[in-house]
Chain A
Amino acid sequence: MAKNPEHRDLFSGALEMMILHSLRLKPMHGYALVKHIKQVSDNLLQVEEGSLYPALQRMLREGLLESKEGVSAKGRPTRIYRLTDAGMRHLEKEVSSFEKMFAGITRVLAVAKA
């Protein structure tokens, strides 16, 4: 698949983190998730549709998410994903470690500029 050079590849774990965070706001189905991330990031981040579903399956298996039957905005049957307690804890852990890493990177970059 050709990649859009304007979009950077996400580092590993980032997709999971964004999915978890999005679902924390409200349970969603797959397509809604893609659109949500795209909108919230002002098109800066674009989820590769292809990698979304394996990621969702992985998180389901790890018990971070659960899915139940539901209908989409257009009334078609789909599966709605929602965060579990374990998913919530995992998200918090990930966010805090991400923040630390981000802070570290920022500091290093700041030194380099000076």
Chain B
Amino acid sequence: MNWVKQLFTRRRRYDDLSISIQEHLEEKIDELMEDGLSREEATRTARREFGNVTLLEERGREAWQWPTLESIWADVKFALRQIRKSPGFAITVILTMALGIGANTAIFTLIHAILMKSLPVSDPKSLYRIGDSYKDCCFTNGLENDNGDVDIFSYDGYRHLRASTPEFEQLAAMQAGQTLTSVRRGQSTAQTRTGEFVSGNYFNTFGVRAFAGRVFTDADDEAGAAPVAVMSYQAWQSDYAGDPTVIGATFYLQSQPVTVVGIAPPAFYGDRIAPNTPAFWVPLSAEPLLSQANSILHQPIACWLYLIGRIRPGTAVGPLQAKISANLRQWLLTQDEYLSHGFPAKIPKVHVVITPGGAGIQSLQQQTDKKLYLLLSISVLVLLVACANVANLILARGMKRKIETSVRMALGSARSRLVRQMLTESVLLGCLGGLAGLAVAYAGTRMILSLAFPGSLHNAINATPSLVVLGFAFLLSLITGIVFGMMPAWITSHADPAEALRGVNRSTGDRASLPQKSLIVFQTTFSLVLLVGAGLLTKSLQKIEHQDFGLQTANRYVLHLDPLGAGYRPEKLAALHQALEVQFAAIPGMQNVGLAMYSPLDGNLWTDGVFIPGRPTSSADADNDAMLDRVSPNFFAAVGQPVVRGRGLKQNDSENSRFVAVVNQAFAKKFFPNEDPIGRHFGIYEQEDIGAYEIVGVVANAKYAGPQTDAKAMFFEPLSQWQHNLKDPIFVNLETQTHYITAIVMDFHGTPQNLEAAVRRTLAHVDPNLAIVNLRSLDFQMAGNFSQERLIARLTALFGLLALLLTSIGLYGITSYQTMQRTREIGLRMAFGANRNGVIGLVMRGAFRQVALGLALGIPIALVGAHYMADQLYVVKSYDPLSLIIAAVVLMAAAMLAGFLPARRAASIDPMQALRTE
């Protein structure tokens, strides 16, 4: 490259030029001396005839340089000198920008990692998913979507599509939900880790090779193949310290022997970003072994798989989508199980949507994208407020440098050059701020991650800034530098040199005051928007936190455990449940113990269709869903859910007595409006158990599914009752699944430390193979449901306060500065009889005008902004006058303080002294 060479040879060129000119002059002097001139005369003549050597050398050099580039470097050097000259100013600017840029970079790091990145696999662009939503996570029976949009598949459905869709080079299946898996090596105690069942071609589809050992293939995914697993690199490192003997070793997953054949590469965290990425991948064929009686692999309508495949180059997605939809409809009509469960009415609507699959399973993305963009908008507002503050600072400083600027302009400096120089300085400050901001961003990202996904073991999101993030921060620094530097540079450079040189402190106002005031207005506007947002989100969080969940949380603890993982077969469950109930009840301080299929708000739920005898089996569209939880008799007491009618469940509701159920108020209202539900019957297995359960009691509503949705219709059945006469295999399977408990809720009065030790002891006494999945207070478990909401509310409040602080400082600074400028005027007013209060009023009125204007502009913007974040609010309406009033009052109060301090100072001016100042 020619210009590169030139760049490096320039120094030599400059020397060459000097040597040439030097020699030229010498030769000329020699010649002139030969003509009889003295050396001095000759030198003088030669130089005169040659001209200005320095200028000529410079002009000669100009042929070689990019004048802009070199003078920019000079500007940078000059700017650095200026910054060194006023370190206090520089530090203030850099810190302000570091906060602004850091906040934005932290949020951008998350947005980039979560929303913009593809999976770390080969050629993610050619990956496509069959399905577009994640509504049907993670296990459904048949076609549960009313609109026929299929996104989750059964094993049979997967195999059919894979065999009949050659357009997919590879089509892999992966478990929609991930399961907690009990993992044991040799005689060590079992640990609970995340596991995922995937098809044999999973790794090949993604083009992922083993880090060590091998990945499994289709051959490992055949019925009868020896059970294998691939371990994640992170699990290998953190649980087994990279022990090479892990590869080829036998592990016990869910108490079943499985050979670990390889380790996945370090970068591969699976097919999705999730708080807990899988520690193990296991072929689908091993599911019956690991899930035992709960196995769903061969249940024809059990849908639990997401499909992602690699499309052959040149395949058009639209026609493929139509083809698969038609194919699926046709196939469903040939499946007895689909025909027998009332699905035919839904089959004509069945269709699939093919979506890009390079980012894998994006359920986390769908949950968090709005929140992340909300945070980004908030942090951009903070950055703007920070920019305005810095612009004001620079402007004030520019006024101080007015004389210097004027002199330079009087001496002929080009205006553009002055602007460029000032911009260079602000961009440099912006970049320094950005550099410091990277540290803020790193710390911020880590904090956000730990708060948003507490307790994650293996996280797919990394807080260390990537190249893209660094680029973003740099670009942002440049832009902010220009944004906050442009206006001051323009204004300062348009100063009239003559005016400035004539003297200072003579005017009542000056050129900068209007722009400075507008900056304050602008800051007030955005601060109000931020404060209103913070108010709304905080209020919403409070509503979520302090709502009536319908439960008692004081002294309540939840133990999660996994009898299935410990290898319990269905026939052993009754004995286990009884032993657990008795022995936990015997722990000193234990008031009530309740066993349950799942506990409130622990992330699990189970929905069934409810069938009431005598009522026509409703049309396919009618909603007859209700949540089922299977519990022990003391469960209601343990969670503090009061029985409002009839009775709760009792010890003598046994296998041999009539089948009973307790329903909640929402259930009673949904299925028996205006009727007494007590004594009514219902069933859940279509025609097989018509009216099997009799409703014996009604409990108050409580929230099980989520803190932000109303309590759903729900019914509770005793763990001790089991319908053994079911025929349809899927019903037999479901009945079995619902009898495995995962939670024990305890009402315990004593110190929590004692509880943990006692729980461990008791569990080991019942069965040493039963591991504690987790033990936590019910409060903590419930709070986990809104940790993201809490994080956003706190961050917004923090950003709002930061903006308030910046605005107040800005207002204080500008008011002080202007008061100082008006010293003479104020002195004059006081000399003519203005009193202290009058002066204070004069100054404060000026400050208030800006704030009031800012508020007037901010209120409509805040209302619009609130409207856009309405879906992030719980119970609170986006139009909330109280939040608006509080925000405005807080801003006013801060402004009053910021205006009052300089006003008081102004009022204490001694008129005589003021008039003498110059």
Contact = CB atoms under 8 A, between A and B. Distances in A.
Nearest to B26: A76
Interface stretch (B59-67, B112-120, B351-359, B724-732): B59-67
Contacts of A31: 23-24, 27-28
Contacts of A49: 24, 49-51
Contact of B64 (A53, A61, A73, A76): A61
B17 interface: yes
A95 B812 CA distance: 73
A33 to B, nearest CB: 9
Interface in A38-76: 48-50, 53-54, 56-58, 60-61, 67, 72-74, 76
B20 interface: yes
Interface in B39-85: 49-52, 56-57, 59-64
B202 to A, nearest CB: 60
Interface string B23-43: 110111010000000000000
B13 A57 contact: yes
A48 B60 CA distance: 14
Most chain B CB within 10 A, of A1, A49, A67, A77, is at A49
Contacts of B380: none
B21 interface: yes
A74 B57 CA distance: 23
B20 A53 contact: yes
Given A49-B50, A74-B27, A57 B21 contact: no
A57 B24 contact: no
A78 B56 contact: no
Main secondary structure on chain B at its contact with chain A? helix
A49 B19 CA distance: 15
B6 interface: yes
A53 B60 contact: yes
B369 interface: no
A50 B50 contact: yes
B27 A57 contact: no
Interface in A61-114: 61, 67, 72-74, 76-79
Given A50-B56, A61-B6, A79-B16, A29 B23 contact: yes
B56 A54 contact: yes
A50 B51 contact: yes
Contacts of B51: 1, 48-50
B50 A76 contact: no
B53 to A, nearest CB: 9
Contacts of A50: 50-52, 56
A3 B59 CA distance: 20
Given A49-B49, A54-B60, A76 B23 contact: yes
Interface residues on A, range: 20 to 34
B24 A54 contact: no
A27 interface: no
B32 to A, nearest CB: 12
Most chain B CB within 10 A, of A53, A73, A79, is at A53
Nearest to A67: B16
Nearest to A81: B20
A76 B23 CA distance: 7
A61 B63 CA distance: 7
A72 B17 contact: no
A53 B28 contact: no
B17 A57 contact: yes
A30 B56 contact: no
Nearest to B58: A54
B23 A30 contact: yes
A78 B23 contact: yes
B63 A57 contact: yes
A78 B30 CA distance: 15
A79 B20 CA distance: 6
Interface in B262-277: none
Contacts of B13: 57, 60
A77 B19 contact: yes
A56 B24 CA distance: 13
Contact of B27 (A53, A54, A76, A79): A76
B46 to A, nearest CB: 9
A29 B63 contact: no
A29 B60 CA distance: 16
Given A31-B27, A61-B64, A76-B26, A54 B20 contact: no
Contacts of B17: 53, 57
A76 B25 CA distance: 11
A30 B57 CA distance: 14
B63 A78 contact: no
Contacts of A77: 19, 23
A61 B10 CA distance: 10
Contact of A30 (B21, B49, B52, B63): B21
A31 B409 CA distance: 40
Contacts of B6: 61
A54 B51 CA distance: 13
B911 to A, nearest CB: 62
Contacts of B63: 54, 57-58, 60-61
A34 to B, nearest CB: 8
Contacts of A72: 23, 27
A89 B461 CA distance: 62
Contacts of B23: 29-31, 72, 76-78
A79 B24 CA distance: 10
Contacts of A54: 56, 59-60, 62-63
A30 B24 contact: yes
Contacts of A67: 16
A78 B20 contact: yes
Contacts of A1: 51
A44 B884 CA distance: 88
Given A30-B24, A49-B51, A74 B30 contact: yes
B4 to A, nearest CB: 14
Interface in B685-724: none
A72 B27 CA distance: 9
Nearest to B51: A50
A78 B60 contact: no
Contacts of A79: 16, 19-20
Nearest to B52: A50
Nearest to B2: A63
B327 to A, nearest CB: 68
A79 B16 CA distance: 7
Contacts of B19: 77-79
B584 to A, nearest CB: 90
Contacts of A76: 23, 26-27
A44 B26 CA distance: 24
Interface in A1-40: 1, 29-31, 34
Contacts of B26: 74, 76
Contacts of A34: 24
B490 to A, nearest CB: 35
A56 B62 CA distance: 12
Nearest to B30: A74
A77 B24 CA distance: 10
A58 B60 CA distance: 8
Nearest to B21: A53
Contact of A57 (B28, B50, B52, B61): B61
A19 B27 CA distance: 19
A55 B725 CA distance: 106
Most chain A CB within 10 A, of B30, B49, B60, is at B60
6 contacts: A30-B24, A31-B27, A50-B52, A53-B57, A54-B56, A78-B23
Which 6 pairs between the two chains have the least Cβ-Cβ distance? Answer: A50-B51, A78-B23, A57-B63, A57-B60, A31-B24, A31-B27
Interface of A: 1, 29-31, 34, 48-50, 53-54, 56-58, 60-61, 67, 72-74, 76-79
Interface of B: 6, 13, 16-17, 19-21, 23-24, 26-28, 30, 49-52, 56-57, 59-64
Given A31-B23, A50-B52, A57-B63, 13 more contacts: A29-B20, A31-B27, A50-B50, A53-B17, A54-B60, A54-B62, A57-B13, A67-B16, A74-B30, A76-B23, A76-B27, A77-B19, A78-B20
